[in-house]
Structure 1
Amino acid sequence: MVTVRRDVGAPVDAVWAVLADGWLYPSWVVGASRMREVDPAWPGVGTQLHHSVGTWPLVLDDTTTVLACVPKRELVLRARGWPLGEAEVRLTLDERADGCEVALSEDVRSGPGRLLPPPVRSALIGPRNAESLRRLAYLAEGESR
Structure 2
Amino acid sequence: MSRNVRAMRCSPEAVFEVLADGWLYPGWVVGASRMRAVDGDWPAERSELHHSVGVWPLLIDDDTVSLEWDPPRRAVVRAKGWPIGEARVTIDVREGSRGCIVRIQEEPVEGPGSWIPRFLTDPMLYVRNRETLQRLAFLAEGREGASRRRSG
Aligned length: 145
Q: Which residue of 1 aligns with 2:149?
A: none
CA distance in 2, matches of 1:31, 1:78: 15
Q: Which residue of 1 aligns with 2:41?
A: 41
Q: CA RMSD in A?
A: 0.7
Q: Which residue of 1 aligns with 2:148?
A: none
1:74 is aligned to 2:84: no
CA distance in 2, matches of 1:120, 1:20: 32
Q: Does the residue aligned with 2:88 lie in a helix, a strand or coil?
A: strand
After superposition, give the CA deviation of every residue in 1:105-144 in whole Å (9 maximum; x if it has no partner).
0010010112211111101100000100000001111011
Which letter does structure 2 place at the counterpart of 1:141?
E
TM superposition shift of 1:83: 0.6
Q: Which residue of 1 aligns with 2:83?
A: 83
Please give the TM-score of this superposition, normalised by the length of structure 2: 0.93
TM superposition shift of 1:97: 2.9
Q: Which residue of 2 aligns with 1:23?
A: 23
Q: Which residue of 1 aligns with 2:122?
A: 122
- What stretches of structure 1 of length at least 5 have no aligned partner? none
CA distance in 2, matches of 1:78, 1:13: 22
After superposition, give the CA deviation of every residue in 1:29-68 in whole Å (9 maximum; x if it has no partner).
0000000000111111000000000001110000000111
1:11 is aligned to 2:5: no
Q: Which residue of 2 aligns with 1:135?
A: 135
Percent pairwise identity:
49
Native 8 Å contact 2:13 2:71 kept in 1: no
Larger Rg: 2
CA distance in 2, matches of 1:33, 1:49: 13
Q: Does the residue aligned with 1:72 lie in a helix, a strand or coil?
A: coil
Q: Which residue of 2 aligns with 1:93?
A: 93
CA distance in 1, matches of 2:51, 2:20: 15
Which letter does structure 2 place at the counterpart of 1:3?
R
Alignment of 1:102-113 (within 5 A): 102-113=102-113
Q: Does the residue aligned with 2:95 lie in a helix, a strand or coil?
A: strand
